[in-house]
A and B are shown apart, each in its own frame.
Chain A
Amino acid sequence: MKSLHIYMLVFGLFIQTVASSQIQSVSLQASGLTCSMCSRAIYKSLKKLPSVSKVQEDIAHSSYHIQFKDAQKVSLADLKKAVLDAGFSVAWMEVKANFNNVEVASDSALQLDDFTFFFVDIQKQKLNGERKLLIVDKDYLLEKDRKKYAGTFESKAEVPDGDRIFHVTLPQS
């Protein structure tokens, strides 16, 4: 089951779009904390990652806006691990990128940098301008929020590669 997506990719069963844009930034909210000492632990843990250039924190909401030195070397799994290592969990993580007329639909795959994003629970549409992609995989979204999407993709396949392939949806903004 785990290799199903790779298999489907190889045989071209998914509509695959390669976007020319790069990941611009990542925002995340951490869960399980209220104190500024805890918040600072997460800040320090994110800041020490080699690919990260800047972390802007919103202590009141336990959220962090992360910019990168080199988008090619971004690891979303490392960002998640940084939050876990500080002792907390990821409530949500959003990837921001610029799009130019990129057509997406549920089950379509989007290639962005080295990442493959499979869309779930969206209408067929064209993405333009700056858009955020909300990751809906396990440990990247609170379980209670993830349940909304779980049924839409878990029966098809799990994430074959926890570092490069993700399921995403378009958050309502």
Chain B
Amino acid sequence: MKKFLQQGSLWVMFVFYFNGIGAQELFVFSEPASNMPAKSLGIRASNWLMYDNTNKTLNDQLIPELMWGVNKNLMLHLDGFFTNQGGNFHAVGAGTYAKYRIYSADAVNRHFRMAVYGRLSLNNSVIFQQEIDLTRNNTGYAFGLIATQLLHRQAISATIGFNQAFNNGSENKFPPGQSDQAINFSLSTGRLLLPREYINYKQTNLNLMLELSGQHLIGDNVNFLDLAPAVQFIFNSQTRLDIGYKFQLYSDMQRVTPNGFMIRVEHLLFNVF
């Protein structure tokens, strides 16, 4: 560990700092390799309240999402994108996300899992930044790999993915000369604060999460790195409330809304299908 610390690796320090504290894997700003239960339906609403550096306004984006556990390995999401950008609140697009679990090694209170994912998004927004964001600003597709290690009460998850952006709808072309391909990566961990001991499903869970996420634009050769702490409540082992704050640690690319809050409510309906 000492050797790595001497190298000043932020990633390794990040893992090291959280090692042994204990965590859960229902991350706020990324997806774990595990899926939701088969035949269940999840209803999610994510509200991003991000500060717009260019216009000095609060950018309010709402993403309602339906999530379906098709079988034990496959889950599908359908999401809609709404924003107050340009004045009134309106729909700007929709997307779909699929995740397929390709590897599981389970033991009591631990697992290592890997999954592949794909996303397809349609968006009508004006493209006003270098950052490619397929959940909020861009039309395009993405695919990648997720690996998650759960060890007793600790979880660490890493994601790497490729993003391809296209022209947005409503004549909003992708800016010429700007990189339309990116590599996204994330490293997430968290800790379970409450309950200390599980007795029944009514107990409220309190989790703290910390996630690093970044992007490298292929061609433009620019990057950003964000850090996002979040607090998560789980009520009745069925309903989630996440409150996270995401802020930029480093960037040499042009971004409009790097900092702000995300508030999410999610409710899981078991055995719907």
Contact residues of A with B, CB < 8 Å? 29, 31-37, 39-41, 43-45, 48, 57, 59-60, 62, 84-89, 91, 142, 144
Contacts and interface: CB of A to CB of B under 8 A. Distances in A.
A39 B106 contact: no
A59 B38 CA distance: 20
A36 B106 contact: no
B134 to A, nearest CB: 26
A73 to B, nearest CB: 19
Nearest to A35: B24
A45 B37 contact: yes
Contacts of B150: 32-34
Given A36-B205, A41-B270, 7 more contacts: A34-B110, A35-B26, A40-B237, A40-B270, A45-B270, A45-B271, A85-B71
Contacts of A57: 201
B152 A36 contact: no
A77 to B, nearest CB: 15
Given A31-B111, A142-B108, A36 B36 contact: no
A89 B71 contact: no
12 contacts: A32-B111, A34-B152, A35-B192, A35-B205, A36-B198, A45-B38, A45-B270, A45-B271, A85-B38, A89-B106, A142-B108, A144-B107
Top 6 nearest A-B pairs by Cβ distance?
Answer: A32-B106, A59-B198, A44-B270, A40-B237, A41-B37, A32-B111
Contacts of A41: 36-37, 40, 268, 270
B201 A29 contact: no
A31 B72 CA distance: 15
Nearest to A86: B37
B54 interface: no
Interface string B107-125: 1111101000000000000
Interface in B99-149: 104, 106-111, 113
Given A36-B234, A40-B201, A48-B271, A84 B72 contact: yes
